[in-house]
Amino acid sequence: MKNKLKNSPQLLGYFFAFGATAIWSGNFIIARGLNESIPPISLAFWRWFVAVIILFPFAIKNLIANRIIIRKNILYLTITAILGVTIFNTLIYLAGHTTTAVNLSLISISFPIFIIILSRIFYKEHITRYKAIGIVLVLIGVVLLISKGELSSLLSISFAIGDIWMLLAAIIFAIYTLLLKHKPKNLDLLTFQLSTFIIGLIFLFPFYIWENADTHHIQYEIKTILSILYVGIFASLSAYILWNSAVNKIGATNAGMIYYTIPLFSGFLAFIFLEESIGLLHFYSLVLIISGILTATYTSKEKK
């Protein structure tokens, strides 16, 4: 009984990570499916606007009560908000204009490798032989994917720019996930989320104005509105709360293990809703990426 109680927080953490991953899978479908209906920055702006409106009534009381803590940690909150709110998902929606939903999801799961690399740089964590092999395997998988199986294309840089935006988004998300380790302990999760959502939205607003002045008028059809509500309520609010809770309970590396199921969900949804083809190239890339990640995380588990 004691072992069950001791393990229950970890089980809950894995459940939270799985829930966030399942929800985020739909985000890649929307990023690709709405690429002609709404510009990327506008989609990101309305996503976070909806998230703030929904969360506001539940967290405003604590936000006001914790204003002193927020002021003391404003630099940390600002950096976290810019990376996790302003930049990360905007890059995903930007990438969705020039690459497939399957590619988006496959490249996104390379982010745990960047956690290992950044942990070495900033926390001096040792990169073992297994981690090094894992990093190489993941890099091969990603390169195979973005070059569409033709490595010679790398010399002429003819791969989709969306793949590069998604790779950059994966690096940003790795940094964001590592920053969650430093969340002020006396700041509750809902207050943390609302404060970062608001700050990130403020930094996103000027780019939203610029984009709308420079692009065609957005047609807010039923499909567009429902998609915005999905990414605002579920992919933003629900998934971020689940993910941050998972990282707090089981750590960034273990949560990342669940994140690898994204291509399975996204690939299936892309096949059903977007009629995207899934070929052997995607399968080989997935095998290389997952094999690399499992190899890279093997020794850390062994030491435990």
What confidence tens digit (pLDDT) does each residue in 35-72 have?
A: 777 888 999 999 999 999 999 999 999 999 999 999 99
pLDDT < 50: residue spans in the chain:
1-2, 4-6, 157-158, 300-304
Instruction: Give residue 5's pLDDT.
Output: 41
Q: How is residue 189 written in tokens?
A: 């999760």
Instruction: Give residue 150's pLDDT.
Output: 65
Instruction: Give residue 83's pLDDT.
Output: 95
Instruction: Give residue 1's pLDDT.
Output: 47
pTM value is 0.76
Instruction: Give residue 37's pLDDT.
Output: 79
Q: How is residue 266 written in tokens?
A: 């996204």
Closest CA to 29 of 294, 210, 262: 262
- CA pair distance 261, 138, nearest whole angstrom: 15
- CA pair distance 265, 251, nearest whole angstrom: 23
- CA pair distance 45, 253, nearest whole angstrom: 29
Instruction: Give residue 303's pLDDT.
Output: 46
Instruction: Give residue 147's pLDDT.
Output: 65
